[in-house]
Every structure is written in C-alpha cells, then in structure tokens.
Amino acid sequence: MLSPLTHPVYRHLFLAQVLSLLGTGLATIALGLLAYQIAGADAGAVLGTALAIKMIAYVGVAPVAGAFVHLVPRRTLLVALDLVRAAIAMLLPFVTEIWQVYVLILVLQSCSAAFTPTFQATIPDVLPEEAEYTKALSLSRLAYDLEALASPALAAALLTIISFNWLFAGTALGFLASAVLVVSVVLPSPKPPERAESARGRTTRGVRIYLATPRLRGLLALNLAVAAAGAMVIVNTVVLVKANLGLSDREVAWALAAYGSGSMLAALVLPRMLGEWPDRLVMLSGTGLLLIGMALGSFAGGALPTLLALWFLLGLGNGMALTPSGRLLRRSAHAGDRPALFAAQFALSHACWLLTYPLAGWLGAAQGTGATFAVLAVVTALGLVLAAMVWPKEDPAEIEHAHEDLLPNHLHIANTGGGQRHQHAYVIDDLHHSWPGR
C-alpha cells in the first residue's frame, strides 16, 4: 500500500495533506471546546450552526472553484489558500462572541472549498495507474484517520499543560507546513475542459456529469448516510461526554480517537478488499455498519466504554463507505472534466452535511441525544436504500451504445472503430449526454 510514496511529488503532497489535517484536527477539537466555553450546554447548537456555515461555503464555492482552477497554476493556488487559512486560524483564539466564530469559519472554509477539490483532482494526474491511485486513496483515507486518531491524542496531551485556545496555533503551523511542502514540488498542469463553455456552463458541468451517472447518484445517496452518522459524532461527542457522562476534555478527545481508529482500520484493509470485491458491495456494506451503529445509539450515553465501542464501529463503516469514492469519480469523467467532477462531489457531499450538521445540533439541544440518534438513523437508512436502488449491480466500465445522431464519418465513430453502435469506456461528455438504457 506504500508504493505511491516512492513517487517524490506524491510523497510531498501526502505529507502536506497529513500536516494540514493534523492542524485541522486540533482546530476541530478546539472549536468544540470554544463553543462549550461560550454557550455551555447549548454548545451542540452553536457548533452545529458553525459547521452548517462551513457547509454553505463548501456548497457555494467548490463548483465555482472547480470550473476555473485550470486558469491558475495549481501550486500558486494551493499555497495561497494555505497561507490565508493559517492567518484565519491565528485569529480564532481571540474571539469572544458567537458571531465572530461564524464569520471566521465562513472565510476559512471558503478557502478550504477551493483547496480540497483542487488537491484531490491533482492526485490522478500524478498517479495515472489505477492500482497506484487506489493505494493512494487508501493512504489519503489513512491520513484522515490518523488525524482523527493523532489529533485527539495530541490534544489530550497538550490540554494537560496549555489551554485549548493554543490548539489553534497548531492549526496555523499545519497550514504553513503544507504550503512549504507544496512549494517544494512541480505539479502537473491542469488539463482544460474539452471545449469552451460559458461561465455558467463551466460552473454546472461537474454537477451535470455527476447527476447523469448512475454510480455517482448512488454515491450521493451514500454521502447522505455518511453525513447523518458523522454529524452525530462530530456535533454531539462533546455533549455526550461532558454533559451526559460528566467527563473532561480529554475523554472528548479519546472518543474522537476511537472513531478515527475504526476508520483507520478500514483504510488498512480496503486495498486488498477492493481487489476482490466490487466497489458497490464494499461501500454498501460500510453504510450498513453505519446503520447498525446508529440504531444502537440509544445505548451510547450509558458509559464511556460503550461510547468508544460504538464510535469505533461508526468509524469503520465511515471508512468503508467513503474511501473508494475517488475510484468512482476517476472512472466517471475525462481528465479535463475531473476537477469539475471532484468539485461537484465536494459540493454535493457537503450539501448532505449542511442538512445533517444543524439537525444533529439543534435536535440534540431540543430533544436530547436519544431522539437525535433515532432521527439520524432513519436518514442513514434512507441513504442506504436509495443507493442500492439507483446504483445498478452490473456497472461495467465499457458499455455498448448507439449514436443515431452522428454521421458515419464522425471522428468519434472513426476513432472507436465500431460504427454507430459500438462499445467503449462510457462517461458523460459532449457526445454522451445520458446513460444508456436510463
């Protein structure tokens, strides 16, 4: 699984991702504690609102960024966004009002909405072979999981000697280190779209490809299920541990570490699993684990060991459901459309979080965590059922289809060599507007 790290460009990008994520993880914990300091038992509602603002930035900015990133050198863009994020992180310890948190989160996450899809779309260009790219996806998932494990552990250790506000300094250092590593490599130039389009057309192209591809419609439904379970963990862990169980900041960190360790286990076993099982089966199975965990959620408030075990199960399901998504995106578009498609995945998946974050926060504050588990379990089940319905079991890369609207001498028909009815790797583009048979 480590072979992609022998590629020097990818190695630097991976290290940049790890350091950036470590800083972000410290900020997530510090933000939850900051919300608790400002709002007390209503911290879930404050954090849910802050995270909803984050999702609004992601949904609104990512498609626009994905449409125009090919106009700016990737390295310049990524470094500039890292520097802005570092500056914002340094301001967070000084906030005293809830509205100040909301404003800074909006600016910070608008930068992340441009950074993350650009970064993700770069990796397939750096590692064009599918086997290496699959391993890179697992390494990326592992990086997220190590962050979820290491950040809480590091935070728990730091909180014994410093106040939580100093954790934001770690966030800034993570972004600065990421910028240095990105500067140290030469990134491949982004490929322009296949044809010129209006600004509106470029902005919506990724979403149009996404929603016209059955496997990606299934991925969207899985995103909803993952967001329902994940929102419960991220928004209400601090409430479950501190308000319900009466424990300290360190136990909040350990609970989040249990969630990360489950997801990390999934990342470690997925390269071999995906070599034997289809993506659809792996991802649906992971979502099934999420549903089981959410259904058992009413027992989460009984004792810390029970909560840790449940969070581990949810982390395992999360890793299985999410890690292969890059493979689906890679095979569903031409290279020139990948930035737009990755941006569409970023925006649409976070639209799901935009729904579930405030639901987890506000419902938890109003009705308690038991009712919140029940409602979000229903949302998880809905996502799983929809994914199984819209993502066909048979999902070949090459599909036989006909071009009744093209002349026999059209370049596309000549290149495929199969006449007006032929077979090739099928993706939505300017010549293939809809999925065959659908």
Q: Which domains does the chain have, with CATH numbers?
A: 3-390 (1.20.1250.20)
Query: Which of 140-144, 184-188, 229-233, 334-338 bottoms out in mean pLDDT, i.e. has the lowest?
Result: 140-144
As a whole number of angstroms, the distance between CA 317 and CA 332 comes to 24
Does residue 378 have a pLDDT over 90?
A: yes
SS3 category, 399? strand
Picking from 313, 282, 283, 284, the residue whose alpha carbon sits closest to that of residue 296 is 313
For residues 182 and 78, give the distance between their C-alpha atoms in angstroms, rounded to a whole number: 7
Which region among 40-44, 91-95, 126-130 has the lowest average model confidence (pLDDT)? 40-44
| pLDDT above 80: residue 313 | yes
Q: Which of 41-45, 58-62, 160-164, 325-329 has the highest mean pLDDT?
A: 325-329
Contacts of 298 (CB under 8 A, 6+ apart): 370, 373, 374
Half-sphere exposure of 94 (CA within 13 A, CB side): 6
Query: pTM of the full predicted structure?
Result: 0.73
Examine the pLDDT at 160 and tell me if it is beyond 70: no
Q: Would the pLDDT of 60 be above 70?
A: yes
Cross-strand bridge partners of residue 425? 398
Average pLDDT on 117-144 reads 73
For 65-100, the DSSP string reads HHHHGGGS-HHHHHHHHHHHHHHHHHHGGG--SHHH
For residue 103, give the amino acid letter: V
CA angle 258, 259, 265 (to 5 degrees): 90
Locate 99 and state its tokens: 């509205």
**Which of 86-90, 262-266, 298-302, 320-324 is the least confident region?**
298-302
Q: If you average pLDDT over every residue of the chain, what do you get?
A: 78
pLDDT band at 199 (very low <50, low <70, confident <90, very high): low
Token readout for 317 is 């399901």
